[in-house]
Amino acid sequence: KVLHRDVKPQNLLISEIGELKLADFGLARAKSVPSHTYSHEVVTLWYRPPDVLLGSTEYSTSLDMWGVGCIFVEMLTGVPTFPGVRCTYDQLDKIFKILGTPNEETWPGVTRLPGYKPHRLIFYKIRKLGLSFPRLYDIADGDSMASSLLQLNPDDRIDAEEALRHPYFSSLPRKLYELPDGEC
């Protein structure tokens, strides 16, 4: 497994036949066994998951799946999902305002993360993602897919294989599956 560690729209390339490729592996790392030595200074701020924003250095492919979720919502709505403007805590506020502020009940272990500082956080109630992005309800299984990708707790985030089996993809037009394979 490889952690890309900088999944964002600028690193996605789409060919003329609709083939999607991931680019810029400058921050990528091999992920064969869990490590405690990764930096939390990865991923462009808008696409950085809350666990990393809170200082976790024990991350897995769930790091990249958060970025996929942000891009998924951005593609369906036409606007960035969590456009923080200043710093880590501003970015966390953008996320928590939409998804709710985590606590030990909703995300066991969150209060032990180095960046979890209650005096710096505003506590928001948990909400459905579609309330902030109603367009997600207009697309079959769009809200469910986005919500599965954008779980605050990285252990609850859907992985790539699960995402491909998600009902969202079964409702896509059959024509998409008939696109020709590109050359390697």
Are 39 and 28 contacting, i.e. CB atoms less than 8 angstroms apart?
A: no
Domain boundaries, the chain: 2-172
Both tokens assigned to 141: 């299984």
Q: What percent of the chain has pLDDT over 90?
A: 57
143 noted as active-site residue: no
Say which range, 58-67, 101-110, 150-159, 161-170, has the weakest mean pLDDT. 58-67
Provide the pLDDT for residue 38.
Answer: 47
pLDDT tens track for 69-101: 999 999 999 999 999 888 899 999 999 999 999
- Asked if residue 176 has pLDDT above 60, the reply is yes
Both tokens assigned to 55: 């200082």
Q: pLDDT band for position 128 (50/70/90)?
A: very high
pTM over 0.95: no
pLDDT tens track for 31-43: 654 555 444 455 5
Q: Specify whether domain 2-172 bears CATH 3.40.50.1010.
A: no
Instruction: Reduce the DSSP state of residue 116 to 3 states and report it.
Output: coil
- b/e sequence 12-49, b meaning 16+ C-beta within 10 Å: eeeeeeeeeeeeeeebebebeeeeeebebebbebbbbb
Would you give the DSSP letter of residue 75? H
Say which range, 53-67, 135-149, 169-183, has the weakest mean pLDDT. 169-183
Q: pLDDT band for position 13 (50/70/90)?
A: confident
